[in-house]
Amino acid sequence: MRRAASTARSSGTIFHRDNVMFGGTQWFFWSGFGLIFAFLTTYFQRIGFTSIEIGLVTGTASVVSLVGQLVLGMISDRIGSAGRVLQSSLIASVVLALVMFVTPPVLFAVAAVTFLLAFSTQTLPPILDGWAMQVRERVPRLDYGITRSMGSIGFAVTSATAGIAYDRWGISMMFPAAAVMFALTAGVVAIVRRLHTIDERAASETAPTPSPDAAVDPAEVPPAGIAPDELTTAEHDSPVKRFFTFRMVVLLSLGFLTFASFRPVQVFIPLLFDLVGGTNRHIGYAYSVMAVSEFPFLIAFTFLIARFEDTRIIMIAFVFFFFRVFVHLFVPTPTIVIIAQVFQGPSFGLFLPAWVHLLNRLAPRGARTFAQTVGSVATFGLGSMAGSAAGGYLIEWFGLRGMYAITSATMALVVLAFVLLFVTPGPIAVPRARVP
């Protein structure tokens, strides 16, 4: 009887209004994201861009998106509404996707719209994460792992089916199709914002006057080791300045090295398939396995975070990131390469929600959306860019297998450093989280 009651409560939490709404937001957004950005290089090839032009446009767009993440993150915290920034950017993405559809295949025109689209769309994942964590502070039943898993499934489904549709109706259909998805995302965001505005108004009307002894948010308490006469200075520092503690810089550096080691596995997987006798069909299967493998671990995070510290979960993810890279030293056939991609689940699938959770926990109030954007820039942005560039040189100097050996050794050092600095007790170890 007790087990049944517990199951019923769990099911009620999973299908809570906010989980459904945020899950829909993630589904529609990542579906639209996949419709465009999974096929943008192919589109550039179809309209006649050279390899150099493709590299320049996509590389510059990546830089634009990194700058945009920082800018929009700071704006979100300044106005205190990540949801408003998200909704405005989604509306801009709808317009820009339709503009791209009618833009003539001229390099400068396409590049200009691509940069604007990168600023309005590619910047949004950390903004969406930051908004979810903000709402979760008021609605503990909102589950990031469950809602984000809907994004992975949406991306996998649309990416897998879009190629067939594009072959039939033309690849330029990616833009109006994505515009529809972004419009649906903006609609759901507007509904969620309205519902929470109503909820907050009702709560403020019934909330008791806080007592002078009310509990202080742990994120606002200065770190241990600050002398009493330094507290005033620390309190008057901007939230952004207080975010960049020595502990946070080290943590972001390890995240950077993780993605610098992990990204070449994805970027250069076509070369690995060439080495073991694979085809484009095998590449498609590999990417599908990557996306699908994330789903169960994003769901599992819901149960793991209730029992373990977020730092412990990140440690487990880092260990699997090591295996994610290391196993490619030995894969002999295309089928084994495809099977090896299941390590994406326990590595990236656990890392993403734990990383978002930890950044939100450590960031001071007033810089929590900014924290998500900085974490995204350090890992998905700079780490991925550095890994892609360095991976090319390592392959040139040491061969493909040599590149995997060096990046897996780097990942092993990341695991060791994280355990020593953040898991075992020490001067910069992360304080334990409060039990919700």
Burial (CB count within 10 angstroms: exposed 0-12, middle 13-18, buried 19+), residue 328: buried
For every residue of 151-175, DSSP letters joined together read HHHHHHHHHHHHHHHHHHH-GGGHH
pLDDT single digits (tens) 390-409: 888 888 899 889 989 999 99
Q: Is 42 left (phi over 0), alpha (psi -120 to 50) or beta?
A: alpha
pLDDT single digits (tens) 188-245: 999 888 876 654 444 444 445 444 444 444 444 444 434 444 444 445 567 778 888 8
Paired tokens of 208: 């008791």
The set of residues, in sequence order, having a beta carbon less than 8 Å from that of 223 and lying 6+ positions away, is: 245, 247
Reply yes or no on whether the pLDDT at 117 is more than 90: yes
Average pLDDT in the chain: 81
Cβ–Cβ under 8 Å, residues 121 and 33:
yes
Torsion of CA 176, 178, 181, 183, to 10 degrees: -60
Q: What local confidence, expressed as pLDDT, does residue 14 receive?
A: 58
pLDDT band, residue 158 (cuts 50/70/90): confident
Rg (CA), the chain: 22
Percent of the chain at pLDDT > 70 equals 84
pLDDT single digits (tens) 335-382: 998 899 999 999 999 999 999 999 988 888 878 888 888 888 888 888
The set of residues, in sequence order, having a beta carbon less than 8 Å from that of 202 and lying 6+ positions away, is: none
Q: What local confidence, expressed as pLDDT, does residue 371 receive?
A: 87
Reply yes or no on whether the pLDDT at 12 is more than 80: no
Paired tokens of 183: 């419009």
CA-nearest of 364, 329, 376, 322 to 347 is 322
| Token pair 């990341």 in the structure block, residue | 414
CA-nearest of 22, 91, 33 to 65 is 33
CA 164, distance to chain mean position in Å, is 27
**Better pLDDT: 169 or 333:** 333
**In terms of residues, how long is the chain?**
436
Q: What is the pTM of this model?
A: 0.73
CA-nearest of 349, 317, 323 to 407 is 323
Q: What local confidence, expressed as pLDDT, does residue 152 receive?
A: 77
Reply yes or no on whether the pLDDT at 273 is more than 70: yes
pLDDT band, residue 433 (cuts 50/70/90): low
Q: How far apart are CA 305 and CA 300, in angstroms?
A: 9
Domains defined along the chain, listed by start: 15-200 (1.20.1250.20), 239-423 (1.20.1250.20)
Reply yes or no on whether the pLDDT at 384 is more than 60: yes
User: Phi and psi dihedrals of 97, rounded to 5?
Assistant: -65, -40
**Better pLDDT: 105 or 40:** 105
Q: Which of 14-28, 215-229, 274-288, 356-370 has the highest mean pLDDT?
A: 356-370
Q: 81-90, 265-274, 287-296, 298-307: lowest mean pLDDT where?
A: 265-274
**Better pLDDT: 407 or 56:** 407
Q: What local confidence, expressed as pLDDT, does residue 231 receive?
A: 40
Q: What local confidence, expressed as pLDDT, does residue 263 receive?
A: 84
Q: How far apart are CA 430 and CA 375, in angstroms?
A: 16
Q: What local confidence, expressed as pLDDT, does residue 182 receive?
A: 95
pLDDT band, residue 15 (cuts 50/70/90): low
Q: 26-30, 63-67, 99-103, 197-201: lowest mean pLDDT where?
A: 197-201
Reply yes or no on whether the pLDDT at 175 is more than 80: yes
- What letter does residue 341 receive in the DSSP assignment? G
CA-nearest of 196, 40, 55 to 121 is 40
User: Phi and psi dihedrals of 41, rounded to 5?
Assistant: -65, -40
Q: What local confidence, expressed as pLDDT, does residue 327 receive?
A: 93
Paired tokens of 233: 């200075």
